[in-house]
Chains A and B, each alone.
Chain A
Amino acid sequence: EVQLVQSGAEVKKPGESLKISCNGSGYNFATYWVAWVRQMPGKGLEWMGFIYPGDSDVRYNPSLPGHISISADKSLSTAYLQWTSLKASDTAMYYCARGQQHLVDNWFDPWGQGTLVTVSS
């Protein structure tokens, strides 16, 4: 069974750093794109970016502020989403999702269970 399991909920203060993870199993992790998707409270889905773990090719959503970074360790079958300085506006549920083996016309299935990040002073 293809599965993505994310790290647990986090509560942080503004200005703190954070790295959340997404562990894939049941497939060749290195050969499928892994996406990160943000869902702010009561809002819709926003694509943040994705990574091809095989060669760490990363694509970011140019419409979103650039204070996040995406990485992966294919030896651990794990992708990461990282902030160096959190803001209150980063409070959201973050999902990882498996994309396809090709870049263009990607779609996502399955999705992880989500990681809730709360940033509050």
Chain B
Amino acid sequence: SYELTQPPSVSVSPGQTATITCSGDKLGDKFACWYQQKPGQSPVLVISQDSVRPLGIPERFSASNSGNTATLTISGTQTVDEADYYCQAWDSSTVVFGGGTKLTVL
């Protein structure tokens, strides 16, 4: 079955750029999306279709997808961005989530 691999944790200082990766075989040939989940809350879509930001998501969130890696970038990271982030893709008629990355802003 298809797998998406994310680093378990990423740390960043406030105001700096956070980069979270998601790796999968030929992931660039598929659409990747990203969700943010804060403690005790439901996931929220922050990026769809590789790089489309939904209404209401701050411009500091951007993403790309090429080769075997999708990347979520948060520019000017704020303390409110501290959360778990999950990538997701579609493969062979199934939905696949990455294992999640805990972003710590300190």
Indicate whether A and B interact. yes
Measured CB to CB, the residues of A under 8 A from B are 35, 37, 44-47, 50, 59, 61-63, 95, 97, 103-114
Let me know if A61 and B95 touch, CB within 8 A: yes
> 0/1 per residue, B29-43, Cβ < 8 Å to A?
011010101000011
Give the interface SS of chain B, mostly helix, strand, loop or mixed.
strand
Q: Which of B1, B30, B94 has the most CB of A within 10 A?
A: B94
A109 to B45, Cβ gap below 8 A?
A: yes
Main secondary structure on A side of the interface with B:
loop
A95 touching B42, Cβ below 8 Å: yes
Contact A105 B90 (CB under 8 A): yes
**Contacts A63-B1, A104-B90, A109-B54; A47 near B96 (Cβ below 8 A):** yes
B35 touches A45 (CB 8 A): yes
Q: Shortest Cβ distance from B92 into chain A, in angstroms?
A: 9
**How far does the alpha carbon of A42 sit from the alpha carbon of B93 in the complex, in Å?**
27
Give Cα A112–Cα B44 distance, bound, in whole angstroms.
10
Q: Is A35 in contact with B95, judged by CB distance below 8 angstroms?
A: yes
Please give, as numbers and ranges, the residues of chain A lying within 8 Å of B84 by CB-CB distance: 44
Evaluate contact between B97 and A46: CB separation under 8 angstroms: yes
**A35→B31 CA distance, assembly (Å):** 18
Per-position 1/0 for B70-106, Cβ under 8 A of A: 0000000000000010101010011111111000000
Return the contact of A106 from the options B44, B54, B90, B99 (Cβ within 8 A).
Answer: B90
Q: Are B43 and A107 in contact (CB under 8 A)?
A: no
- In the complex, the answer to whether B42 meets A44 with C-beta atoms within 8 Å is no
Q: Does B48 contact A (CB under 8 A)?
A: yes
A45 touches B86 (CB 8 A): yes
The B12-64 residues at the A interface (CB cut-off 8 A) are: 30-31, 33, 35, 37, 42-45, 48-49, 54
If A61-B95, A107-B49, A109-B54 touch, does A45 touch B43 (CB 8 Å cutoff)?
yes
Chain B residues contacting A35 (CB-CB under 8 Å) are: 95
Chain B residues whose C-beta falls within 8 Å of the C-beta of A37 in the assembled complex: 43, 97
